[in-house]
């Protein structure tokens, strides 16, 4: 995916907690597309809360935040409600978006190999170009780093 930096972001239309999201309809605003493994797990909850806590600043930077995981829309709706997440979450149970952005990886879970989402974030500019990608990232400080990147392209 790093080879795609500076090129048009992979387009998609997907179902989310606020209805259908069509990436092409987000033109004119930057988009933070963050992929996370699972609702209601410690790291994913912290990551969602961090993006939530900075949400007003993302909006001020004319940036839309969207989360993606393989969880169901029902699970996402509960996750959003439980933690007051003000941005949409896309349900990708068939891994269409995950494969489009190349975030499915073999991971080691308690000594077993499992396929899962590698925590990743993509920053797409107002023209639809992929400007930055973070892969295999650590949650602490990540949302702030993405916010600074979003402000810098504004």
Task: Tell me the pLDDT tens digit for each residue of 13-53.
Answer: 999 999 999 999 999 999 999 999 999 999 999 999 999 99
Give the C-alpha separation, 128 to 58, whole Å. 17
> Quick one: pLDDT at residue 1?
54
What is the distance between the alpha carbons of residues 136 and 71, in angstroms, rounded to a whole number?
A: 19
pLDDT at position 2 is 60
- What are residue 137's phi and psi, to 5 degrees? -80, 165
Q: Which residues contact 31 (CB under 8 A, 6 or more apart)?
A: 9, 23, 63, 64, 65, 66, 123, 124
42 to each of 11, 49, 105, 125, how far by Cα in Å? 30, 11, 20, 30
Split at pLDDT 50, 70, 90, the class of 111 is confident
Both tokens of 108, joined, read 């080691």
Whether 44 is a known active-site residue: answer: yes
Question: What number is the average pLDDT over the span 57-72?
Answer: 97
CATH of the domain spanning 2-153, picked from 3.40.50.920, 2.60.40.420, 3.40.30.10, 3.10.20.30: 3.40.30.10
Q: Give the whole-angstrom CA distance, residue 27 versus residue 78.
A: 29
Q: Give me the chain's average pLDDT, please.
A: 94
CB 62 within 8 A of CB 29: yes
Residue 75 has a pLDDT of: 97
CA separation, residue 153 to residues 50, 67, 88 (Å): 20, 20, 22
Domain boundaries, the chain: 2-153
Residue of 26, 44, 80, 98 with catalytic role = 44
Give residue for tokens 């899962």: 116
Threshold 0.85, pTM exceeds: yes
């Amino acid at each position: 995916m790093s080879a795609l930096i500076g090129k048009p972001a992979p387009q998609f239309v997907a179902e989310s907690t606020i209805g259908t999201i069509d990436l092409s309809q987000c033109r004119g605003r930057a988009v933070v597309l963050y992929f996370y493994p699972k609702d209601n797990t410690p790291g994913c909850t912290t990551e969602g809360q961090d993006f939530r806590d900075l949400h007003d600043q993302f909006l001020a930077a004319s940036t839309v935040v969207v989360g993606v995981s393989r969880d169901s829309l029902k699970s996402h709706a509960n996750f959003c409600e439980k933690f007051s997440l003000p941005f949409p979450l896309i349900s990708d149970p068939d891994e269409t978006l995950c494969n489009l952005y190349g975030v499915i990886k073999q991971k080691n879970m308690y000594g077993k190999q499992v396929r899962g989402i590698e925590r990743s974030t993509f920053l797409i500019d107002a023209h639809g170009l992929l400007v930055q990608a973070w892969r295999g990232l650590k949650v602490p400080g990540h949302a702030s780093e993405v916010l600074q990147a979003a402000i810098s392209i504004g």
